[in-house]
Structure 1
Amino acid sequence: MSATYHLAQANILYAVDSLKSEKLASFHELALTVDALARKAPGFVFRLESLFDLPEDPYMLNVSVWETMESLRDFTYQGEHADSLRMRRTWFKPPRGAPSVLWWVPEGSLPDADESMARLGMLNAKGPTPDAFTFRRPFPPPQS
């Protein structure tokens, strides 16, 4: 029997100010709407959001799992989420490296913040590989 894989994604966003600041209030409001849309989107499996409101470097790590690359691509680049991408510079600094990473996980596997940061590190160190890739340079699921 062959394993079924889902697509994991992580993106990191460095805030222009404390995540609790008034400057990010409109982001948090929009994020609630986008999160609700994601949870109802075709192909959505799981979402983990971690907020790190460090005084010298506040950032947000978003991790999600989708049934297919197409379902994630459709959600990311259409509708209100696409609108939020156009506004991201209002709330977040330019990325320091790759702002997002994709990788395949066995169905039922849920990545955590540590694994997600490691995948971002792999992508930044080696470029796209089957273990850490991008929409522009995708890799197929592993063959079992």
Structure 2
Amino acid sequence: MHLAELNIGRLLAPTDDPRVADFMNNLDRINGLGKRMPGFVWMSEGSGEPGTGNTENMIGDDPQLVFNLTVWEDLPSLEAFVYKTLHSKFMDRKAEWFEVLGEQHFVMWWIENGHRPTRDEALARLDDLRQNGPSEQAFGWDWIRAKS
């Protein structure tokens, strides 16, 4: 089994606004780092245009509500990328670029090897976590660490 994760956020400004320029200008760098990490399997991507990441694939009709959807071989691989690389420095700066969401915005779940989750599938997992709390179907960091 592989580990899928979805993280959503609402940018403070449109993607071409100077207030989020540092974030947008580093998307390719951070995404590229993730793709080179041991244990990385797959990432949902947009058009591939430089500097867009997956931001053109919004949620609903809100162009500032964006997401990141990736698949990893296991929890240690994802943790290494999130907390032990340059990615962590950008996570520390998220308040500069993203609104504080009033509800859960991150979810993980196990998938069969070779499966590529869709945005809608991932959003359904997030809804499950929001409505039912952590379970085998949808969980966060605390739940999976307690099970490991």
TM-score normalised to structure 1 length: 0.87
Name the residue aligned to 1:113: 119
Displacement after TM superposition at 1:65 (Å): 0.1
Name the residue aligned to 1:100: 106
1:8-47 equivalent positions in 2, closer than 5 A: 8-47=4-43
1:1-144 equivalent positions in 2, closer than 5 A: 5-49=1-45, 50-51=54-55, 52=58, 58-138=64-144
3-state SS in 2 of match to 1:7: strand
CA contact (8 A) 1:11 1:61 kept: yes
3-state SS in 1 of match to 2:30: helix
Unaligned runs of 5+ residues in structure 2 are 46-53
Q: What do residues 31-85 of structure 1 show as CA deviations (whole Å, max 9, x unaligned)?
A: 2111010010010000114432878661111000000011001111112110011
Counterpart amino acid of residue 28 in structure 1 = M
TM-score normalised to structure 2 length: 0.85
3-state SS in 1 of match to 2:111: strand
Q: What do residues 78-103 of structure 1 show as CA deviations (whole Å, max 9, x unaligned)?
A: 12110011000000001221121000
Unaligned runs of 5+ residues in structure 1 are none
Counterpart amino acid of residue 22 in structure 2 = S
Alignment size in residue pairs:
137
CA-based RMSD: 2.0
Q: Closer, same or farther in 2 for the Cα pair 1:16/1:45, shift >3 Å? A: same
CA contact (8 A) 1:18 1:53 kept: no
Displacement after TM superposition at 1:19 (Å): 2.1
Following TM superposition, the consecutive aligned residue runs of length 4 or more in structure 1 with deviations greater than 4 angstroms are 53-57
